[in-house]
Amino acid sequence: MTRVPVRDDLSALEGYHSPQVTVDVRLNTNEAPVGPPAAFRDALSSEMSRIEWNRYPDRAATALRTAIGALHGVGPEQIFVANGSNEVLQTVLLTFAGPGRTVATFEPTYQLHGHIARITGATVVEGERAADFSIDMNEVRRVVEQSRPHVTFLCSPNNPTGGVDSPSVVRDVLALSPGLLVVDEAYGQFADWSAVELIDEETPLVVSRTFSKTWSMAAARLGYLVGPRWLVAELDKVVLPYHLDATKQIAGTLAVRFLDEMNERVRSIVSERERVSAALRALDLDVFDSGANFVLFRPRHMGGRAVWQGLLDRSVLIRDCSGWPRLADCLRVTIGTPAEDDRFLSAITEVLS
Ligand SMILES: *Cc1c(COP(=O)(O)O)cnc(C)c1O
């Protein structure tokens, strides 16, 4: 026997798949369509030459946490930083979930919430969203009373459906949930409010964010959360020592100096999103309202998979959600540059005709 068996609870688990295909127009992973400003690249390369490569990086990443905290009006001790917000979520789940504990999600939502929770050995309880994919408070009450989750996830704006949870929804879920509430705000800058405003030392709430989307820095693998001080201190015990390399700490610290440029990119993506949504509606598709940089839609007269393939044949790659539970025939398109969006719109017009 040459293969050592993996943990019993992992043997049925499938990996996370998002095909990286070479195409002309790539609108499948919600990346920003353009990179950060040239001034950021220049500042980064000159800082890079000063790294002391023989030394471990600042283990507490103080400069980076201070810079991120300043964005939210909090100190560095309320910021936990990791290699992408997925690692932030993994650290939260290693700390508060794990074997014998329960994690609640409201589906359909970001697949990695349940996936990472299962990898930590936790039991995942999947609640259902309403037909319009909003949070159904009766369902939250049912799930919370039946399974008393140690960790409950919200995702606002929700990936892949695009909806934003209102402050009252987040407050009500917080009031019902017996454990930690995690609000994943990977697309938070696209929304008109943030659950960060509800954070204090007495409230079991954390908000996670990423540099991968609005900050145009998916290549950097950098994410963070804002939370109570005591909770950040617990996460610091669980994460591996020196997990954030020197390059990334510098990149993140420099990136946040370009806040105005980031906000400007967000504004132009929002106006593109409204243009693309209107054009899709005009093609007689079911289009879900989005508060993010992507739009979920469902063709009415043709299978979702066939539309996705038709687009791929025209070198336009979007996300095929048509086979995912609760999302039959649905497709998700990331908002790109105006030129990329035009390519997508003319390709889908062709495919549907
Ligand atoms: C893209 C995305 C993330 C980002 O993960 P990173 O590891 O920071 O790249 C997290 N949550 C949601 C809902 C996302 O869509």
Write out pLDDT tens, residues 252-293.
999 999 999 999 999 999 999 999 999 999 999 999 999 999
Quick check: CB of 30 below 6 Å from ligand 1? yes
Tokens for 220, please give them: 């950097």
Q: Where in the chain is the domain with CATH 3.90.1150.10?
A: 8-36+260-352
Instruction: Say how far apart CA 40 and CA 38 lie, in whole Å.
Output: 5
Confirm if 179 and 96 have CB atoms less than 8 A apart. Answer: yes
Q: Which helix (H) or strand (E) holds 113?
A: helix 111-119
Quick check: CB of 110 below 6 Å from ligand 1? yes
CA of 334 to the centre of ligand 1 (A): 14
Quick check: CB of 184 below 6 Å from ligand 1? yes
Those residues of the chain that have pLDDT short of 50 are none
Q: What pLDDT score does 1 carry? A: 66
Q: Where are the beta strands (DSSP E) in the chain?
A: 25-27, 79-82, 102-107, 123-128, 151-155, 180-184, 205-210, 223-226, 286-287, 294-298, 316-320, 331-334
Q: CATH 3.30.1700.10: does it fit domain 46-258?
A: no
Q: What pLDDT score does 20 carry? A: 78
Quick check: CB of 177 below 6 Å from ligand 1? no
φ, ψ for residue 297, nearest 5 deg: -145, 165
Q: What pLDDT score does 14 carry? A: 80
- The closest-lying atom of ligand 1 relative to the alpha carbon of residue 218 is 9
Quick check: CB of 155 below 6 Å from ligand 1? yes
Q: Where in the chain is the domain with CATH 3.40.640.10?
A: 46-258
CA of 301 to the centre of ligand 1 (A): 32
CA of 88 to the centre of ligand 1 (A): 10
Instruction: Say how far apart CA 25 and CA 340 lie, in whole Å.
Output: 6
Cα separations in angstroms, 205 against 44, 59, 78, 174, 199: 34, 25, 12, 8, 6
CA of 185 to the centre of ligand 1 (A): 9
Q: What pLDDT score does 246 carry? A: 97
CA of 109 to the centre of ligand 1 (A): 12
CA of 161 to the centre of ligand 1 (A): 14
Instruction: Say how far apart CA 195 and CA 181 lie, in whole Å.
Output: 11
Confirm if 162 and 286 have CB atoms less than 8 A apart. Answer: no
Starting at the earlier edge strand, list the strands of the sheet with 223-226. 79-82, 223-226, 205-210, 180-184, 151-155, 102-107, 123-128
Quick check: CB of 102 below 6 Å from ligand 1? no
CATH class of 8-36+260-352: alpha beta
Among 265, 241, 244, 263, smallest CA distance to 253 is for 244
Q: Whose CA is nearest to atom 12 of ligand 1?
A: 186
Confirm if 180 and 235 have CB atoms less than 8 A apart. Answer: no
Q: Which residues are within 8 A (CB) of 91 and not within 5 positions of it... i.e. 6 or more apart?
A: 80, 82, 235, 238, 239
Q: Which residues are within 8 A (CB) of 38 and not within 5 positions of it... i.e. 6 or more apart?
A: none
Mutate to test the pocket of ligand 1, among 159, 182, 214 (most ligand atoms within 8 A of CB): 159
CA of 212 to the centre of ligand 1 (A): 7
Instruction: Say how far apart CA 131 and CA 166 lie, in whole Å.
Output: 17
pLDDT per residue as tens digits for the range 173-222: 999 999 999 999 999 999 999 999 999 999 999 999 999 999 999 999 99
